[in-house]
Amino acid sequence: MGNHQSPTEGEWYCICGLSQAEELEPEGLEDRIPSENEVGQHGAWNPSDLREDTWAVLFSTWSLLMAAHEYAKASGGFHEIIYFLREHLEADLDWIPRNIFTGFINSSWLQPPTLLLTGIPGLEAVQIWISVPLCIMYLIALLGNCTILFVIKSTSSLHEPQYIFLSMLAGTDMGLSLSTLPTVLKVFLLNHREIEFHSCLTQMFFIHTFSSMESAILLAMAFDRFVAICNPLLYTVVLTPPRIIGMGIAAVVRGVVLIVPLPVLLQRLSFCKDVILSHCYCYHPDVMKLACGPVTVNTIYGLSIVLCSFGVDAMFIVISYILILKTVLGIASEDGQLKALNTCASHIFTVCIFYVPLTVLALIHRFGTFTSPLLHVTMANLFLFLTPVLNPLVYSLKTKQIRSAVHKAFINRYILVVYNITDTPKGTEDAKAKTTELVPDYLEGK
């Protein structure tokens, strides 16, 4: 073991498949390497940021290590190997930050510490002004849906299946709005784009869960309209309170069970392509595109969710309305036909504003590789804002019972304050009497 002859420097480079003239020097690369402070601030350095010559130096280093391994197996000369590697590799590796190697080894690179959200491409300078209408829309969505929940809860005449389903829809819209509120306002109002990786997965879970729940509730509302128009005599028999509660629980359970695997499957992937998302919130296809490992399982499962939940729901909604239309056309009087269709108008509008942006957004992410980034952002924001903002407005303006109940609720509250009537059972009766005196039509639901 001690009688072997150490290879010369030239022999080492022959073993590696390199000549001494081809030895790579890292001179001039320092200006492209982040400082230690920058690496400390932003976590492990992204390997995709390395230039071609950087990879060449790493390849040279790897070749030398492999040659050393082969020599060690042949002769056992570990002292010479260590001396050679220390002498010839130190120069090549001095300029590479230590954090690169911790990045390759540490799981923080497999799961990047932070991702970067995106506002509206090309309008970064005016994002602070765009935040104003966004804040107004969030305010409308939250106040409008809270009002619907309060009115349905406080008005006994609205404790019917149609309005109970509407309250479920309002609660789901509030959940969807609250899921995206922090990141959207942070990007547009504060220009703060970073989001922690696991926070991103959590937000993604809630966005997709509430979307799945909303799809299920829209299907339940379509079934409600189907029973009310096609089998009105069985309406109270079919849609009993326990069944309505069961349908709501089923919507929640289905959403949670279907969406839980999405963040779990993403956590097993390595992320090395980029850290920039396409939207101001975390959306599953958008996050998945950043992965550099095989995403076949994620793609198949994501597509299965779309087809088995949203696709199936949409199909049954269409079937329900085909049967409703067939029944309506069988009504003799034209007034009866219009009255029957009018009860479905709000729901049809809600279905359209929910499924159309969702379908277009899904198609863009699956097949729209060359579409404009502005189209991505537009459809993403339409999907995000249309339903929560417009649902309370549509149902308040279109549904007479909701509109009347909202008026009565606010007028009663106004009378309690203005006429200094206490909020007690006797005070409530006094407020009702005063309301009857001032606006009797509201108590009659006119």
Position 423 pLDDT exceeds 70: no
- Under 8 Å between Cβ of 256 and 190: no
Question: What is the average pLDDT across 146-164?
Answer: 90
Position 181 pLDDT exceeds 80: yes
Give the pLDDT confidence score for residue 43 in this predicted structure: 44
Give the pLDDT confidence score for residue 98 in this predicted structure: 38
What are 276-309's pLDDT values in tens digits?
Answer: 888 889 989 889 888 887 888 998 999 899 888 9
What are 193-215's pLDDT values in tens digits?
Answer: 899 999 999 999 999 999 999 99
In order of 55, 101, 354, the CA distances from 364 in angstroms are: 34, 37, 16
pTM score above 0.85: no
What are 66-77's pLDDT values in tens digits?
Answer: 666 565 556 555
Question: What is the average pLDDT across 361-368?
Answer: 73
Question: What is the average pLDDT across 97-123?
Answer: 62
Give the pLDDT confidence score for residue 149 in this predicted structure: 93
- Average pLDDT along the chain: 75
Segment among 23-32, 106-115, 166-175 with least mean pLDDT: 23-32
Which sequence spans correspond to the domains of the chain? 114-411
**How far apart are the C-alpha atoms of 130 and 124, rounded to whole Å?**
10
Chosen CATH of 114-411 out of 1.10.390.10, 3.40.50.10490, 3.40.50.150, 1.20.1070.10: 1.20.1070.10
Higher pLDDT, 250 or 41: 250
Question: What is the average pLDDT across 250-272?
Answer: 92
Q: With bands split at pLDDT 50, 70 and 90, how would you rate the model's confidence at 415?
A: low
Give the pLDDT confidence score for residue 17 in this predicted structure: 45
Give the pLDDT confidence score for residue 386 in this predicted structure: 83
